Chains A and B, each alone.
Chain A
Amino acid sequence: MEMKFSGQFEVSPPPAQAFDLLSDPQKFAPLLPTFSSLEMKDANTAVVKVSVGIGKIRGTATTQMTLKEKVAPKHATYVGTGKVMGGAYTMISSYDLEPKGTGTLVKWQGEVQLVGKILSLAGGGMRGYAEQQIQSVVTSLQQAMSPEYQKEATARKAAQAEKKSSGWMSGLMKKLRKHEEAAAAVEAAPEEAIDASALLAGYTGPAMDAVDATAAVSQPLNSFARNGDFSAAVASHKGDKWVHASLSRKEDGRLVRGRGLFVDDYKVAGMLHMSLVRSPYGHARIVRIDTSKAEALPGVVCTLTGKEVAAVANPYMQIGPGDAQNIKDYPMAVDKAIYQGEPVVAVVAENPRIAADAAQLVEVEYEPLPAVTDWKTALEDKSILHPGLGTNHHWHGVYEYGDLDKAFAEAATVIKIGQMDFHRFASTPLETNAVVATWTPFGGVDFLCNNSFPAIVIQMIAPSLNLSIDQIHCKTMDVGGSFGNKIGNYPYMALSALASRKAGGRPVKWVETRTEHMQAGGHGSERVYLDTEVALDKDGVITAVRAKHIDDCGAYPRYEPLGCVIWSQVLPACYKLRNIRIDFNQVVTNKGPSSPNRGYSRLQQLWFMERVIDICAHELGISADEMRLRNYIREFPYTTPNGCVYDSGNYPLLLEKAKELIGWDDWKKKQAAARAEGRWIGIGIGTTLDSGTNNFGQARIVNPYLPFSGNSEVATIKLDLDGTVVVSLGSTPSGQGHETTTAQVVADELGIRPDMVEVRTGFDTAFNSHGGHSGSYASQFAVTGLSAAHGACQKLKKEMKKLAAFALEANEDDLEFGIGQQGPELRVKGTDRSINYWGLSAMVNINTASQPPELADITLNIRHVYRPPFKIPDTDKKFGNLTLTYASQLHIAVIEIDTKTYVPQILAYAAVDDCGNVINPKIVAGQVHGATAHGIGAAMMEAYIYDKEANLLTSTFTDYTPITVMNMPDLAYGDIETPSPFSYNGAKGMGEGGGAPLHTICAAIQDALFDKGVVVRNTFNPPSDIYRLLKNPNWAECVKVERRAA
């Protein structure tokens, strides 16, 4: 299509002046409509970017404009060529200048040639559009040559000297363009008048001259204080003791500003992005992979297949015994995929969108294999997941304590309970798994990751990649929640590292999508309980329990089978029975691999015991509260049948407090009245334990050949060159406020303020403040992390005293710590003789002459390892102390089930917590709230549901429906403190919450349906399941009672 236009106009300046503007591409090009930027190729050629909008089509055109003919001051011709939205164009415009009076007559000709798809897209409007464009150039030219513009140009130059951000286009020109664009848009598509006004909106407002700002954030440089917000929080606290203060957190300053540094926020030059092709099948052989089309896509750097990975990497260490050691677990599927979402091919590209595009171009041919989706099919071993293991039965062991035969023979009542199920769910942290990996020129790997147990992970990754552990630099910054799930993301760390190696050492970022997370980011194990038998005495006191439990850990064991022993930390739950036999099993199935999940493995056991208590109570006609009071453990420390020592607690007091909080007696009355009206209202109690600080020796109960035992955590503390107290930790907080609570503890130890203590953010192998157990998991920081920090303080204080005693010529016993006029100091009690921290540091670091030899060993740079006093358990008897502290919780819920829709609604909810001495009450309450939300969500809304072909049906948040504020009741929160005798500070680790709401809600639903002949025997109770339950009353079938003559 070719179009020609011509015309003429007059301007007041003489030809020489008009020509000056016309013949300079730098001045002429910006007159083009919707000009956005310009780059000069040479004196006569400009590369100009303009945005174009014709009807509904919008795009950017890059035009190369060349001044082809230049005859001063009479003639100029421009030739422009460019591409726009599926088309190309050539535009020739020429100008002839003639004197007219004192001014100039400009005669112009324009010619536009267009080829390509744009013609059909733009339809018949093209000619009008082209004419409009040329017209607007002419109008702009006319305006630009006018004296008014020239005057403005002079003013602008002057203004520019003052105001840097001012663009070079004049306000007049902008106004002109704005007007024209609006007109063009309206004319081209009259029905889109609203769009035109939206277009206009972009150009209004006073900041017009700041268009195309380059910096998104910049503020005037105001004066600032070290730890500004935190200092304000500290200043508002009354008193000079910091442990037990409800201090606002130091972390908040960056997080409320949106300035936290999560992995995906991190950018580095040359960084590439990895996207994964994942198996759509739950179980399938990989027949063929073709990556050629993906590799041909511009912007793709490389691809990586499982075979390539297996050729250079070793499979990960397996924890399980015997043939479990032959499981081959690589970061990607090699010969076959064994769960939906297993990585099959990695694609590495310049940006995440190209990587995702390229992943679509990878061709994989699969041969589907029979899927194993439940424990029953798994145990049939018809379809085997791991040839090396040779069976799907991954682990088996019997935990037996006391004399079961005797207890059952002597029982007044024996109650047998049919199959019960603990469903598959996870805490699904809002930040998904992510890592930036760089294979460095020094031969090792740098990781910025969000793994929550990096100390164990580097022990897995290093042998897999043939590296020494020191060659792995592993670092975390802000972590957007973990809840145990992120312990399991190490395969992706290794994969990103190999991708970086293949990409020549460029950093590779991988950020999991939500669906990837749901399919493959770590599930909490499901558990089935079979053949449960309970022996009770005549008073309803449980004397014995026996059952068979089977865990389903998904496709790869990874952290498993540790879950096959960790539950036994709470073997009898809160109850005093001494005779217990659990036949424990674990199977692998074609589902997403398990990872620890808040309350890991213990909440399954606790739920089981709470169900047992409630079902027995119901059968015996004993009320739920009375049943618990008859069975609670009451004396502490209490040694359980399997040798665990419950440090302290007061379960009856928890119950009393929770009853008071919820208004127990009132609700009992309301319940009776509601029942009389035919409403279904239930009140449920859940008592639970949050065992913290693992004895890793328990790993030997699942595999006697494992080298682990005990536990350790590390803190370093130093007086820096300027005397600042600097602490680094081995933990990986993801919201628990370790920077704050550590500062509280150190402040008390040194008699200073928390804002005078620098606690470094995150975990970093370069800090040298980690041991083999470091990380944040298993409710332990208040014990392990703070004990390490406390121990480090004691050593530092000893050194500081030695130095101060020498400097002040005083006795060490006469010195005290505190804050003086020159900041933190040591002083001689009752005098004004003191030395501040800078002075002490100087004696070691910068002013070191003339000191006696007895100070030579002092470094003021302490590394302390806290090791709790554990012994190696007896692996044959499965006996020993597996955990140091036992926080406890008691929840009560009132639930009404709608009699028409079967929707359960929580009417009231109380949660009482006991974690011993509390370091920061605000943080503890927050942890209880969060754990409660997870439990309520799991009990009522959240489930990983697979179909028979091992397709995950709840693979987005929209399907999985994590609990929102609309589903959360207002919580009544209370606490009691029974100090732990086993930690220096009387604190107990907490945060996991023991799954109390699962127990509580199931109990409440059971109570609501008390007369319907149903037994709640699944942790997951959505309305549809409650409906099914009521349609098929199962009590008689599931619960059998034998009453013995007295």
Chain B
Amino acid sequence: MPDAINKVTIDMTVNGRKFRRQVEPRMLLVEFIREELGLTGTHIGCDTSYCGACTVQLNGAPVKSCTMFAVQADGCEVLTVEGLEKDGQLHPLQKSFSEHHGLQCGFCTPGMLMATHALLEENPHPDRYAIKKAIAGNVCRCTGYQNIIKAVEAVAASSKEA
């Protein structure tokens, strides 16, 4: 194979598990997550980091995994939608999205969940505008965003009560 691309070994903690893999330097983080780890909940919707279907949390912050190389996430902690459920219990956001019909086709949903999960970690009681800002970089073609906002508001309100 002429000019074979040398692979790079990277270490990444994904959903609490340590992975060491050898990847082409040009492999995108989203490709790494989907192809190398088989976590297909993180989706690709636009290739230009407009749509946010590929949103994951990188060391806590929401990032668009189509706009990062896997090697850039070497040594980082990544949380994907598959990591939200704990001990067979859905995350309150996951439950709330379903209850408020905050998803239809479900393609944007993982990105929406990760963006709003990061928001609630940072600000457990966001107002409506803060919620909108948090998903400003996430496109949903089905819901018109109305019920996504409602779903997040409900989680924020219930944690306030608690």
Contact = CB atoms under 8 A, between A and B. Distances in A.
Interface residues of A, number: 92
B153 to A, nearest CB: 12
A59 B6 contact: yes
A750 B7 CA distance: 59
B113 to A, nearest CB: 7
Interface in B16-59: 16-22, 24, 26-27, 34, 37-48, 50-51, 53
Interface in A567-601: none
B105 A481 contact: yes
Nearest to A232: B95
A923 B142 CA distance: 11
Nearest to B71: A58
Interface string A890-930: 00000000000000000000000000000000110110011
Contacts of B40: 258, 262, 264-265
A984 to B, nearest CB: 26
Contacts, number: 257
Contact of A958 (B21, B48, B107): B48
A961 B136 CA distance: 12
B85, B95, B141, B147: residue with the most chain A Cβ atoms closer than 10 Å: B141
Interface stretch (B74-82, B119-127, B154-162): B74-82
A56 to B, nearest CB: 12
B9 A60 contact: yes
Contacts of A299: 1
Interface residues of B, number: 81
B24 to A, nearest CB: 7
A481 B141 contact: yes
B48 A957 contact: yes
A965 B135 contact: yes
A360 to B, nearest CB: 13
Interface string B79-117: 011101101101000110111010111111110010000
- Which residue of A212, A233, A298, A431 has the most chain B CB atoms within 10 A of its CB atom? A431
A158 interface: no
B140 interface: yes
Given A202-B74, A202-B75, A229-B90, A932 B144 contact: yes
Given A84-B6, A217-B39, A923 B139 contact: no
Contacts of B98: 229, 233, 248-249, 252-253, 256
A58 B13 CA distance: 19
Interface in A430-463: 430-432
Given A256-B94, A258-B42, A934-B141, A922 B101 contact: yes
A513 B18 CA distance: 31
B83 to A, nearest CB: 9
A966 interface: yes
A662 B98 CA distance: 28
Nearest to A246: B101
Chain B interface mostly: loop
A259 B110 CA distance: 10
Interface string A947-960: 00000000011100
Contacts of A257: 41, 81-82, 84-85, 90, 94
Contact of B18 (A49, A207, A480, A930): A207
A208 B18 contact: yes
A222 interface: yes
A926 B82 contact: no
A251 B88 CA distance: 18
A260 interface: yes
A513 to B, nearest CB: 6
A930 B44 CA distance: 21
A269 interface: no
A837 to B, nearest CB: 28
A107 B10 CA distance: 35
A213 B18 contact: yes
Interface string A217-239: 10110101000010001000000
Contacts of B42: 258
Given A480-B105, A957-B51, A60 B144 contact: no
Give the most central of B109, B137, B140, B142: most A CB within 10 Å: B142
Contacts of A217: 15, 38-39, 82
Contact of A430 (B75, B82, B141): B141
Nearest to B72: A198
B139 A957 contact: yes
Contacts of B44: 264
Interface in A34-49: 34, 36, 49
Contacts of A353: 24, 26-27
A926 B147 contact: yes
A353 B51 CA distance: 22
B70 interface: no
Interface of B: 1-2, 6-9, 11-22, 24, 26-27, 34, 37-48, 50-51, 53, 71, 74-76, 80-82, 84-85, 87-88, 90, 94-95, 97-99, 101, 103-110, 113, 132-133, 135-149
Q: Which A-B residue pairs are the 5 nearest by beta carbons?
A: A258-B41, A255-B106, A735-B104, A480-B107, A735-B105
9 contacts: A86-B6, A202-B75, A203-B11, A233-B98, A258-B42, A427-B141, A430-B140, A514-B47, A735-B142
